[in-house]
Protein backbone atom coordinates (compact mmCIF):
# COMPACT_ATOMS: atom_id res chain seq x y z
CA UNK A 1 0.00 0.00 0.00
CA UNK A 2 1.34 3.44 -0.89
CA UNK A 3 0.44 6.80 0.53
CA UNK A 4 1.35 10.22 -0.81
CA UNK A 5 4.44 11.58 0.87
CA UNK A 6 3.28 14.77 2.62
CA UNK A 7 6.82 16.17 2.60
CA UNK A 8 6.98 15.93 -1.18
CA UNK A 9 3.66 17.62 -1.82
CA UNK A 10 3.96 20.38 0.76
CA UNK A 11 4.43 23.88 -0.64
CA UNK A 12 7.31 25.79 0.85
CA UNK A 13 10.23 27.73 -0.53
CA UNK A 14 12.98 26.51 -2.80
CA UNK A 15 15.99 28.73 -2.16
CA UNK A 16 19.34 29.31 -3.79
CA UNK A 17 22.39 30.39 -1.79
CA UNK A 18 25.28 31.91 -3.73
CA UNK A 19 28.68 31.52 -2.01
CA UNK A 20 30.67 34.74 -1.92
CA UNK A 21 33.75 32.62 -2.74
CA UNK A 22 33.69 29.19 -4.35
CA UNK A 23 34.52 26.17 -2.22
CA UNK A 24 36.33 23.67 -4.47
CA UNK A 25 33.81 23.34 -7.30
CA UNK A 26 30.82 24.35 -5.22
CA UNK A 27 29.47 27.81 -5.71
CA UNK A 28 25.82 27.31 -4.67
CA UNK A 29 23.50 25.49 -2.38
CA UNK A 30 19.95 24.78 -3.50
CA UNK A 31 17.49 23.72 -0.82
CA UNK A 32 13.86 23.57 0.17
CA UNK A 33 12.35 24.78 3.42
CA UNK A 34 8.88 24.97 4.90
CA UNK A 35 10.02 28.02 6.86
CA UNK A 36 12.74 29.84 4.98
CA UNK A 37 13.67 32.38 7.66
CA UNK A 38 14.15 29.67 10.25
CA UNK A 39 16.24 27.59 7.84
CA UNK A 40 18.45 30.54 6.91
CA UNK A 41 19.12 31.19 10.59
CA UNK A 42 20.13 27.54 11.01
CA UNK A 43 22.42 27.78 7.98
CA UNK A 44 24.02 30.94 9.34
CA UNK A 45 25.08 28.89 12.36
CA UNK A 46 26.39 26.16 10.08
CA UNK A 47 23.48 23.76 10.63
CA UNK A 48 21.05 22.06 8.29
CA UNK A 49 23.43 21.10 5.49
CA UNK A 50 26.88 19.52 5.51
CA UNK A 51 28.19 21.74 2.70
CA UNK A 52 27.17 24.91 4.53
CA UNK A 53 28.89 23.69 7.70
CA UNK A 54 32.08 23.12 5.67
CA UNK A 55 32.09 26.49 3.94
CA UNK A 56 31.44 28.18 7.28
CA UNK A 57 34.57 26.46 8.64
CA UNK A 58 36.46 27.97 5.70
CA UNK A 59 35.13 31.43 6.49
CA UNK A 60 33.06 31.61 3.30
CA UNK A 61 29.87 33.65 3.53
CA UNK A 62 26.83 33.31 1.30
CA UNK A 63 23.96 35.40 -0.05
CA UNK A 64 20.36 34.38 -0.59
CA UNK A 65 20.27 34.74 -4.38
CA UNK A 66 16.80 33.64 -5.33
CA UNK A 67 13.65 31.88 -4.13
CA UNK A 68 10.84 29.95 -5.78
CA UNK A 69 7.56 28.98 -4.19
CA UNK A 70 7.04 25.24 -4.52
CA UNK A 71 7.44 21.70 -3.29
CA UNK A 72 10.50 19.46 -3.02
CA UNK A 73 9.61 18.22 -6.49
CA UNK A 74 10.24 21.75 -7.78
CA UNK A 75 13.65 21.73 -6.06
CA UNK A 76 14.53 18.47 -7.82
CA UNK A 77 13.38 19.86 -11.19
CA UNK A 78 15.62 22.91 -10.84
CA UNK A 79 18.58 20.66 -9.96
CA UNK A 80 17.89 18.48 -12.99
CA UNK A 81 17.52 21.45 -15.33
CA UNK A 82 21.24 21.95 -15.45
CA UNK A 83 22.41 23.26 -12.13
CA UNK A 84 22.13 26.27 -9.92
CA UNK A 85 24.63 28.52 -11.68
CA UNK A 86 22.31 28.73 -14.69
CA UNK A 87 19.51 30.23 -12.62
CA UNK A 88 21.58 32.39 -10.25
CA UNK A 89 21.18 36.15 -10.73
CA UNK A 90 24.65 36.69 -9.22
CA UNK A 91 26.27 34.46 -11.83
CA UNK A 92 24.12 35.70 -14.70
CA UNK A 93 21.04 33.76 -15.74
CA UNK A 94 21.75 31.72 -18.83
CA UNK A 95 18.80 30.26 -20.65
CA UNK A 96 19.55 26.89 -22.23
CA UNK A 97 21.15 27.22 -25.64
CA UNK A 98 18.55 26.51 -28.22
CA UNK A 99 17.74 27.15 -31.83
CA UNK A 100 15.30 29.97 -32.41
CA UNK A 101 13.28 30.02 -35.60
CA UNK A 102 12.72 33.39 -37.29
CA UNK A 103 9.01 33.06 -36.53
CA UNK A 104 9.70 32.69 -32.80
CA UNK A 105 11.86 35.79 -32.79
CA UNK A 106 9.17 38.05 -34.23
CA UNK A 107 7.27 38.28 -30.92
CA UNK A 108 10.60 38.84 -29.15
CA UNK A 109 11.35 41.70 -31.55
CA UNK A 110 7.89 43.13 -30.89
CA UNK A 111 8.52 42.99 -27.15
CA UNK A 112 11.84 44.80 -27.51
CA UNK A 113 10.19 47.50 -29.59
CA UNK A 114 7.64 47.96 -26.80
CA UNK A 115 10.50 48.41 -24.35
CA UNK A 116 12.18 51.07 -26.48
CA UNK A 117 8.82 52.82 -26.91
CA UNK A 118 8.92 52.11 -30.63
CA UNK A 119 5.67 50.22 -31.18
CA UNK A 120 4.33 53.08 -33.24
CA UNK A 121 6.93 52.55 -35.97
CA UNK A 122 6.54 48.77 -36.24
CA UNK A 123 5.16 47.21 -39.35
CA UNK A 124 5.88 43.87 -41.00
CA UNK A 125 9.23 44.81 -42.65
CA UNK A 126 10.48 46.53 -39.49
CA UNK A 127 9.71 43.46 -37.35
CA UNK A 128 11.21 41.12 -39.96
CA UNK A 129 14.38 43.20 -40.01
CA UNK A 130 14.62 43.31 -36.21
CA UNK A 131 13.97 39.55 -35.89
CA UNK A 132 16.87 38.95 -38.28
CA UNK A 133 19.10 41.18 -36.16
CA UNK A 134 18.08 39.14 -33.11
CA UNK A 135 18.73 35.78 -34.75
CA UNK A 136 22.21 36.96 -35.71
CA UNK A 137 23.03 38.01 -32.16
CA UNK A 138 21.24 35.34 -30.18
CA UNK A 139 23.91 32.68 -30.66
CA UNK A 140 26.86 34.99 -31.10
CA UNK A 141 29.17 36.91 -28.85
CA UNK A 142 28.31 39.47 -27.70
CA UNK A 143 24.65 38.67 -27.13
CA UNK A 144 23.97 42.36 -26.96
CA UNK A 145 21.66 44.49 -29.00
CA UNK A 146 21.13 48.23 -28.88
CA UNK A 147 18.04 50.25 -29.82
CA UNK A 148 20.01 51.51 -32.84
CA UNK A 149 20.57 47.91 -33.99
CA UNK A 150 16.87 47.11 -33.71
CA UNK A 151 15.91 50.20 -35.65
CA UNK A 152 18.43 49.42 -38.36
CA UNK A 153 20.45 52.60 -37.86
CA UNK A 154 23.66 50.63 -37.30
CA UNK A 155 23.47 48.81 -40.61
CA UNK A 156 21.55 51.10 -42.92
CA UNK A 157 23.53 54.21 -42.20
CA UNK A 158 27.03 52.92 -41.44
CA UNK A 159 28.69 56.13 -42.59
CA UNK A 160 26.30 58.33 -40.67
CA UNK A 161 27.02 57.95 -37.00
CA UNK A 162 23.84 58.73 -35.13
CA UNK A 163 24.21 56.94 -31.84
CA UNK A 164 27.41 55.78 -30.18
CA UNK A 165 27.49 53.53 -27.12
CA UNK A 166 30.57 53.94 -24.94
CA UNK A 167 32.43 51.01 -23.37
CA UNK A 168 30.22 49.55 -20.63
CA UNK A 169 31.28 49.90 -17.02
CA UNK A 170 30.23 48.07 -13.87
CA UNK A 171 29.26 49.94 -10.73
CA UNK A 172 30.09 48.70 -7.24
CA UNK A 173 26.62 47.15 -6.89
CA UNK A 174 27.27 45.06 -10.02
CA UNK A 175 24.95 46.99 -12.34
CA UNK A 176 26.10 47.67 -15.92
CA UNK A 177 25.98 51.09 -17.54
CA UNK A 178 27.15 53.02 -20.58
CA UNK A 179 26.61 56.39 -22.17
CA UNK A 180 24.58 56.78 -25.33
CA UNK A 181 26.02 59.67 -27.27
CA UNK A 182 23.66 61.26 -29.75
CA UNK A 183 26.14 62.57 -32.27
CA UNK A 184 23.54 64.54 -34.16
CA UNK A 185 22.15 66.58 -31.30
CA UNK A 186 25.25 66.31 -29.12
CA UNK A 187 23.25 65.11 -26.13
CA UNK A 188 24.37 62.27 -23.87
CA UNK A 189 22.14 59.83 -22.03
CA UNK A 190 22.92 57.33 -19.30
CA UNK A 191 22.05 53.77 -20.30
CA UNK A 192 21.57 50.76 -18.10
CA UNK A 193 21.74 47.20 -19.35
CA UNK A 194 18.80 44.80 -19.05
CA UNK A 195 18.56 41.08 -19.79
CA UNK A 196 15.63 39.65 -21.73
CA UNK A 197 14.79 36.62 -19.59
CA UNK A 198 13.35 34.58 -22.43
CA UNK A 199 16.30 34.77 -24.79
CA UNK A 200 19.17 35.92 -22.58
CA UNK A 201 19.88 38.82 -24.94
CA UNK A 202 21.18 41.95 -23.26
CA UNK A 203 19.98 45.38 -24.25
CA UNK A 204 21.10 48.87 -23.29
CA UNK A 205 18.25 51.21 -22.44
CA UNK A 206 18.65 54.99 -22.16
CA UNK A 207 17.29 56.80 -19.12
CA UNK A 208 14.54 58.55 -21.06
CA UNK A 209 12.94 55.14 -21.72
CA UNK A 210 13.59 53.28 -18.48
CA UNK A 211 13.78 54.42 -14.86
CA UNK A 212 17.46 53.46 -14.50
CA UNK A 213 17.51 53.93 -10.72
CA UNK A 214 14.49 51.70 -9.99
CA UNK A 215 14.87 48.30 -8.30
CA UNK A 216 13.53 46.60 -11.41
CA UNK A 217 13.27 47.79 -15.00
CA UNK A 218 10.26 50.10 -15.12
CA UNK A 219 9.08 52.01 -18.16
CA UNK A 220 9.48 55.76 -17.83
CA UNK A 221 6.84 56.28 -20.47
CA UNK A 222 4.10 53.89 -19.33
CA UNK A 223 5.24 53.65 -15.66
CA UNK A 224 4.67 49.88 -15.77
CA UNK A 225 7.22 47.18 -14.90
CA UNK A 226 8.62 44.82 -17.50
CA UNK A 227 8.49 41.39 -15.82
CA UNK A 228 10.31 39.67 -18.68
CA UNK A 229 13.41 41.80 -18.10
CA UNK A 230 15.82 42.15 -15.23
CA UNK A 231 18.80 44.42 -14.68
CA UNK A 232 22.02 42.91 -16.01
CA UNK A 233 24.98 42.35 -13.72
CA UNK A 234 28.71 42.29 -14.31
CA UNK A 235 28.43 38.52 -14.70
CA UNK A 236 26.19 39.00 -17.74
CA UNK A 237 28.67 41.44 -19.16
CA UNK A 238 31.56 39.01 -18.81
CA UNK A 239 29.56 36.11 -20.17
CA UNK A 240 28.82 38.08 -23.30
CA UNK A 241 32.31 39.62 -23.56
CA UNK A 242 31.12 42.98 -24.70
CA UNK A 243 33.62 45.17 -26.43
CA UNK A 244 33.18 48.76 -27.38
CA UNK A 245 30.16 49.13 -29.61
CA UNK A 246 30.03 51.77 -32.22
CA UNK A 247 26.96 52.29 -34.31
Binding site for Zn ion (CB under 5 A): 18, 88, 90-91
Closest CB to Zn ion among residues 23, 153: 23
Closest residue to Zn ion, based on beta-carbon distance: 88
> In whole angstroms, how close is the CB of 237 to Zn ion at the nearest point?
15
Closest CB to Zn ion among residues 14, 151: 14
> In whole angstroms, how close is the CB of 235 to Zn ion at the nearest point?
8
Closest CB to Zn ion among residues 93, 178: 93
> In whole angstroms, how close is the CB of 81 to Zn ion at the nearest point?
15
Closest CB to Zn ion among residues 52, 91: 91
> In whole angstroms, how close is the CB of 217 to Zn ion at the nearest point?
21
> In whole angstroms, how close is the CB of 240 to Zn ion at the nearest point?
17
Cα–Cα distance between 36 and 231 in angstroms, integer?
25
The three state secondary structure string of the chain is CCCCCHHHHCCEEEEEEEEEEEECCEEEEEEEECCHHHHHHHHHCCCCCHHHHHHHHCCCCEEEEEEEEECHHHHHHHHHCCCHHHCCCCCCCCCCCCCCCHHHHHHHHHHHHHHCCCHHHCCHHHHHHHHHHHHHHHCCCCCEECHHHHHCHHHHCCCCCCEEECCCEECCCCEEEEEEEECCCCCEEEEEEEEECCCCCEEEEECCCECCCCCCCEECCCCCECCCEEECEHHHHHHHCCCCEEC
Closest CB to Zn ion among residues 18, 39: 18
> In whole angstroms, how close is the CB of 41 to Zn ion at the nearest point?
21
Closest CB to Zn ion among residues 43, 90: 90
Amino acid sequence: MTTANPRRSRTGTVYLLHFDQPYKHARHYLGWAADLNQRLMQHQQGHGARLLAVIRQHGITWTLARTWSGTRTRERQIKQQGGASRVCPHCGIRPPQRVWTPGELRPVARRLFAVIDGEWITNKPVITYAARQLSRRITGIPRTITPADLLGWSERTPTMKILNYTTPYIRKDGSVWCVQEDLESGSDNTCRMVVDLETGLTLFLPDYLVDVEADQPISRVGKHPWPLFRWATGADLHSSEIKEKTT
